[in-house]
Structure 1
């Protein structure tokens, strides 16, 4: 595993992301919003964990809690709206947490306006929220590696669901052009440093 000081490590990338966010004014009311987007299995959760380790006041919301199951990527906008838009007005946001074991939505989760909100997962960088995102991070890794990571975590029995999810991602990202809009592009394999894009 790469050391925390090595270029390309998640910890070093987290430092770069936080520095970029701090250099910009809040975009979600008084909150700075970091959206960590990219395909499943690319390393987004690891980066989010490193950001929180460096900035303990950050609040993380995982997109996995917002989807309506394996086919829920296309309908997640409503959940994002009830979470993000109230925060932009200085009010608490909320979402319904999806229980993957029960296969249904469970409790409502309230989110008070934090100084820093980290929204992590596929679809967190949707274009309709672009003016509210302080820093958009795109995390990428080879397709075969991403699938291998996913099946290692969730088990080979969900391979059909994973393959279906990856097709949903392909359509989503093609339409959203998320990678092209990103402020930082991160190699989820840890092989190279984050690349800052020229966004003016």
Structure 2
């Protein structure tokens, strides 16, 4: 049975994804995923400068793989899956490490992590009904961006105890909090979208 699809505005401007695995962009994405535990360990051990270096390289690779994929017509379905997975893993592992290093409060980690658990449940439920991933909402993109940006800010802020770095720490925490709020707002949007799809299926079956 074919999966239901959700057409978005971006599809008209993106190359058709192919069922290919062994491509340079996918290799870069895979290496980026492998770098995430390294970043987390470096943060938790407080090798902050090294963690920033690896994080910078990993973040740069995120743009490189997308450029190569579009430039050389190597956009793949697996690549479209790996990219958001890498973002989620980077957020989760980095925040766990920041919490372990006592740079970020644990309640914030729980807030972010619990949202991803809820979303995983919805994805599995929709997949069981032959639905593909829901279209990414701009609120979710904004929340993810804030969370990702807060990680290097918090790492840099912990390099010194001076007033400037203390203020920077507050900015990083504030960014993470707002990111978590938007993260959950997007989660509620996805839940409502999923509920609408399942309700539509139920009405179709009962018709």
TM-score (norm 1): 0.28
Q: TM-score, normalised by structure 2?
A: 0.28
Q: Which structure carries more relative contact order (alpha carbon 8 Å, separation 6+)?
A: 1
The structure with the largest strand share of the pair is 1
- Between structure 1 and structure 2, the one with the greater Rg is 2
Structure with more of its chain in helix, by fraction: 2
